[in-house]
Amino acid sequence: MESLVETIVKALVDHPEDVRIEKEETNSLEIYKLHVHSNDTGKVIGKQGKVARSIRTVMNAAAVQSNKRVQLEIL
């Protein structure tokens, strides 16, 4: 899942070397904390959050196979 998010986000940003993902896991929830360069935050979120919503949709579709819930936080 981390590589999926990383691949998507690196294609969107101007500073792909600053993309970093941290993973926190509980029983049924995986939380991915996405760190990007401060200038790239708007590109990852998108207008009215549409890009972030799309990334979360892809993550949820991929998580169905593992029966886990996933959450993405953009920091």
| Token pair of 69 as six digits | 């819930």
The CATH architecture annotation of domain 2-74 reads: 2-Layer Sandwich (3.30)
Domain limits of the chain? 2-74
Please give the Cα distance from 66 to 62 (Å, whole number). 8
pTM of the model: 0.87
What's the pLDDT band for 75 if we cut at 50, 70, 90? confident
| Structure confidence by residue, pLDDT tens digits, 12-70 | 999 999 999 999 998 889 999 999 999 999 999 999 999 999 999 999 998 888 788 99
- 19 by DSSP, 3-state: which? coil
In the 8-state DSSP scheme, what is residue 28?
A: S
For residue 72, the cross-strand partners are: 32
Q: CA nearest 28: which of 74, 71, 72?
A: 71
Apex CA 43: angle with CA 42 and CA 45, to 5°?
65
